[in-house]
Chains A and B, each alone.
Chain A
Amino acid sequence: MSSDKLNEIRQGKEKWLEKRSQMKDRNVKFETVSSLPVKDLYTPEDVSDLDYMRDLGYPGEYPYTRGVQSNMYRGRLWTMRQFAGFGTAKESNQRYKFLLSRGQTGLSVAFDMPTIMGYDSDHPRSLGEVGRVGVAIDSLADMETLFDGIPLDQVSTSMTTNAPASILWCMYIATGEKQGVPSEKLRGTIQNDILKEYIAQKSWIFPPEPSMRLITDIFKYAKDHVPKWNTVSISGYHIREAGSTAVQELAFTLADGFAYVEAGIEAGLDVDDFAPRLSFFFNSHIDFFEEIAKYRAARRIWARRMKEKYGAKNPKSLLCRFHTQTAGCSLTAQQPENNIVRTAFEALAAVLGGTQSLHTNSMDEVLALPTEKAVQIALRTQQLIAYETGVPNVIDPLAGSYYVEALTDKMEEEAEKYFEEIERRGGVLAAIDQNYFQQEIADAAYRYQTEVDKKEKIVVGVNEFVHDDEELDIELLKIDPELERAQVEHLKKLRQERDNNRVNDTLDALKKAAAGPDNLIPYILECVRSYATQGEIVDTMREVFGEYKERPTF
């Protein structure tokens, strides 16, 4: 913009300010949900440094601020992928078939806590937790049931597993073998993001070093045998749910991503051998523009670093492709129907931010796992955005908005400060060891709670617009406690019927390999094929690797 024009705009602003300053504003803090102050008005002055080709470019072109594909949703809509799983494999298999019949386009498996933590359903620590927050998977037999009648060459499947991701991934590969689908054809994602477990989600098993080794083993195996698989879904979702701000989510997630890139390079891989298969997973919280700016900044930062710092040559290595889930932590147990509306705003932000796939939360998820009806409304919310609102017709339609561009710049700038701090602390693993991320997130969570308690932040139906005679008027899904018993019985039977000599042999071989330098994936795959349980495989590795211990602080 010419300096004359800019001067004209400045003069206009002074005039406007004269009038504007006489107006009385509401007595509230004007800031984002992350407590980032925002101005009342953004003008060309706020984006006077913006260089279109340098900072935005075209969709599908560097630095990808405007999107990872050149035609975005005109080519293919985002994948509508509802996270689901409960009870035993049989119940979940039925839910997946229900979702596919309602027009869902990808699967996303939620495992129960014992499966996430690497305990079998009959372990004493699993008592009361089997099938509660996801599906219980103990062995290949359960995985076969989970995908019964769902050909694995026709769906893409995302699996939320981290510490034992290698094992569940091997079970998926082996299920494909049983269905006659070669691993080269399998499409999907394992979350496999152990760094954010130490930082926020806290479902760890092994210490960082062997955990990172398992991840680089997966990179190597996938490159040769499962080339269409996303090997890590680098996740900000849980960081945000744990209470972080939008900027912290952005910065810590990308910092984790850089740490995986460095680990891959250190393990002897070329960056372009594995970086194209890295994907991301972000939260979509309730502050509409802050979220949109966050996604746009994420794409730009990732592309710039991958190119400039890590020397990636393959354009696919530069793409920050991501899944989004609307914010569970923004939902309220009070007046739960309001959550439908919250989720709709959040989903719209994700689409305007250019997400590749999306999970919309169901209104009842603060209270229990969702009912079929609640899930259907959540899925319909996405379909409304896709087919009725007209939003997907135009690529990155908010680009050029003074506010959105200024906020995108601000996000990038603030994230860079965090990268410097992490670097100063010796990198991500060192910063985890110093409890740095954990404390930053806890501080932000506490600040937010205090603001809500003081009514500096309004949550509709919680600290404002509440009436006395409120009654919950929605049905909740109940998990039959009988399912736990059935799963334990099923597991006992498996232990009797399988070839236990073969199981022991494969576990012994894994144990020896774990103590040496070999890639562990082929060994784990052999254990899985012999119907060794996840708990047995984890125990075997735990004997060699040990266990992670946190230092609890608050």
Chain B
Amino acid sequence: MAGKIRVLVAKPGLDGHDRGARVIARGLRDAGMEVVYTGLHQTPEQVVEAAIQEDVDVVGLSILSGAHMTLFPKVCELLRENDAEDIKVIGGGTIPEEDVEELLKNGWAAQIFTPGTPIEKIVEWINNNV
């Protein structure tokens, strides 16, 4: 058995809605994962740099600014450029169903958890997919 699963919870974009990100970060930590939280207003470059530096298994993006169709692809592209596409990108926030499908279909996110998802479900997904 390898060590603990490592997760970077990141807040890209300009908005300051960090309630969800912080709740998830704490929930994942309480579920036994190693969690790093980036803080607010991160650029995709900063997120990817932190993910690589912290050697995480999963990056969780929390986006409530409507910029998800720009930010998810950008993070994935930068991970690929840095040979780090094995890091799973998941996310949550104010993301309409239609956009969720588009993100999953294009491989810009491995899973999206929309509002109302119990933390347990996210823990389960990470445990099954890492």
What residues of chain A have their CB less than 8 Å away from a CB belonging to chain B? 113-114, 116-117, 119, 125-129, 132-133, 197, 201-203, 241-243, 329, 332-334, 366-369, 442, 445-446, 449, 452-453, 459, 462-463, 472, 476, 479, 550-554
B85 CB to closest chain A CB (Å) equals 21
Which B residue's beta carbon lies closest to that of A333? B115
CB contact between B96 and one of A128, A129, A367, A449 (< 8 Å): that residue = A367
Please name all residues of chain B whose beta carbon is closer than 8 Å to the beta carbon of A550 when the two chains form the complex: 39-40
Q: Can you list 22 residue pairs at the A/B interface with Cβ under 8 Å?
A: A113-B13, A113-B15, A125-B43, A126-B14, A129-B65, A129-B67, A132-B67, A133-B65, A202-B16, A203-B14, A242-B18, A367-B96, A368-B66, A368-B94, A445-B23, A446-B23, A446-B27, A472-B97, A553-B22, A554-B9, A554-B21, A554-B22
Please name all residues of chain B whose beta carbon is closer than 8 Å to the beta carbon of A126 when the two chains form the complex: 14
A545 CB to closest chain B CB (Å) equals 17
- In B13-66, the 8 Å CB interface with A consists of 13-19, 21-23, 25-27, 29, 35, 37-41, 43, 65-66
Which B residue's beta carbon lies closest to that of A443? B26
Q: Contact at B96–A479, with CB atoms within 8 Å?
A: no
CB contact between B23 and one of A243, A333, A476 (< 8 Å): that residue = A243
Which B residue's beta carbon lies closest to that of A466? B116
Given contacts A366-B94, A552-B37, contact A127 B70 (CB under 8 A): yes
Most buried by B among A113, A126, A329, A550: A113
Name the prevailing secondary structure of the A interface residues: loop
Please name all residues of chain B whose beta carbon is closer than 8 Å to the beta carbon of A452 when the two chains form the complex: 118
Top 4 closest A-B pairs, CB basis? A128-B70, A202-B16, A552-B39, A132-B66
Q: Is B130 an interface residue (CB 8 A)?
A: no
CB contact between A476 and one of B67, B70, B71, B96 (< 8 Å): that residue = B96
A360 CB to closest chain B CB (Å) equals 19
B124 CB to closest chain A CB (Å) equals 12
Which A residue's beta carbon lies closest to that of B13? A129
In Å, the complex CA distance between A241 and B16 comes to: 11
B74 CB to closest chain A CB (Å) equals 8
Q: Is B119 an interface residue (CB 8 A)?
A: yes
Q: Is B69 an interface residue (CB 8 A)?
A: yes
Q: Contact at B23–A119, with CB atoms within 8 Å?
A: no
Q: Is B120 an interface residue (CB 8 A)?
A: yes
Q: Contact at B26–A453, with CB atoms within 8 Å?
A: no
CB contact between A459 and one of B14, B19, B114, B116 (< 8 Å): that residue = B116
Please name all residues of chain A whose beta carbon is closer than 8 Å to the beta carbon of B67 when the two chains form the complex: 113, 127-129, 132
Please name all residues of chain B whose beta carbon is closer than 8 Å to the beta carbon of A119 when the two chains form the complex: 14
Q: Contact at A333–B114, with CB atoms within 8 Å?
A: yes
Please name all residues of chain A whose beta carbon is closer than 8 Å to the beta carbon of B23 when the two chains form the complex: 243, 442, 445-446, 449, 554
Please name all residues of chain A whose beta carbon is closer than 8 Å to the beta carbon of B14 when the two chains form the complex: 113-114, 116-117, 119, 125-126, 129, 203
Given contacts A129-B67, A367-B94, contact A453 B9 (CB under 8 A): no
Q: Contact at B40–A202, with CB atoms within 8 Å?
A: yes
Q: Contact at A129–B116, with CB atoms within 8 Å?
A: no
Q: Contact at B96–A368, with CB atoms within 8 Å?
A: yes
Which A residue's beta carbon lies closest to that of B64? A133
With A332-B115, A442-B19 known, 18 other A-B pairs at CB within 8 A are A129-B13, A129-B14, A129-B67, A202-B18, A203-B16, A243-B23, A333-B114, A334-B116, A366-B115, A367-B96, A446-B26, A453-B119, A462-B116, A463-B116, A463-B118, A552-B38, A553-B22, A554-B23
Please name all residues of chain A whose beta carbon is closer than 8 Å to the beta carbon of B18 when the two chains form the complex: 202, 242
A52 CB to closest chain B CB (Å) equals 40
- In B83-108, the 8 Å CB interface with A consists of 94, 96-98
What residues of chain B have their CB less than 8 Å away from a CB belonging to chain A? 9, 13-19, 21-23, 25-27, 29, 35, 37-41, 43, 65-67, 69-71, 94, 96-98, 114-116, 118-120
B125 CB to closest chain A CB (Å) equals 15
Given contacts A128-B70, A132-B66, A133-B66, contact A554 B15 (CB under 8 A): no
Please name all residues of chain A whose beta carbon is closer than 8 Å to the beta carbon of B41 when the two chains form the complex: 117
Given contacts A333-B114, A476-B96, contact A554 B37 (CB under 8 A): yes
A126 CB to closest chain B CB (Å) equals 8
Please name all residues of chain A whose beta carbon is closer than 8 Å to the beta carbon of B97 when the two chains form the complex: 472
Please name all residues of chain A whose beta carbon is closer than 8 Å to the beta carbon of B71 when the two chains form the complex: 128
Q: Contact at B16–A449, with CB atoms within 8 Å?
A: no
Which A residue's beta carbon lies closest to that of B121? A453
In Å, the complex CA distance between A368 and B64 comes to: 10
Please name all residues of chain B whose beta carbon is closer than 8 Å to the beta carbon of A462 when the two chains form the complex: 116
A451 CB to closest chain B CB (Å) equals 11
Q: Contact at B96–A243, with CB atoms within 8 Å?
A: no
In Å, the complex CA distance between A33 and B21 comes to: 21
Q: Contact at B66–A201, with CB atoms within 8 Å?
A: no
Which B residue's beta carbon lies closest to that of A115? B14
Given contacts A449-B27, A552-B37, contact A197 B16 (CB under 8 A): yes
Please name all residues of chain B whose beta carbon is closer than 8 Å to the beta carbon of A449 when the two chains form the complex: 23, 27, 119
Please name all residues of chain B whose beta carbon is closer than 8 Å to the beta carbon of A553 when the two chains form the complex: 22, 37
CB contact between B69 and one of A128, A243, A442 (< 8 Å): that residue = A128
CB contact between B65 and one of A132, A459, A463 (< 8 Å): that residue = A132
Q: Contact at B116–A333, with CB atoms within 8 Å?
A: yes
Q: Contact at B66–A479, with CB atoms within 8 Å?
A: yes
Which A residue's beta carbon lies closest to that of B41? A117
Which A residue's beta carbon lies closest to that of B25? A554
A465 CB to closest chain B CB (Å) equals 13
Which B residue's beta carbon lies closest to that of A114? B14
Please name all residues of chain A whose beta carbon is closer than 8 Å to the beta carbon of B16 when the two chains form the complex: 197, 201-203
B119 CB to closest chain A CB (Å) equals 6
B77 CB to closest chain A CB (Å) equals 13
Please name all residues of chain A whose beta carbon is closer than 8 Å to the beta carbon of B29 when the two chains form the complex: 554
In Å, the complex CA distance between A445 and B27 comes to: 11
Q: Contact at B66–A243, with CB atoms within 8 Å?
A: no
Q: Contact at A442–B65, with CB atoms within 8 Å?
A: no
In Å, the complex CA distance between A119 and B119 comes to: 34
Q: Contact at B65–A554, with CB atoms within 8 Å?
A: no
Q: Contact at A445–B19, with CB atoms within 8 Å?
A: yes
In Å, the complex CA distance between A478 and B43 comes to: 24
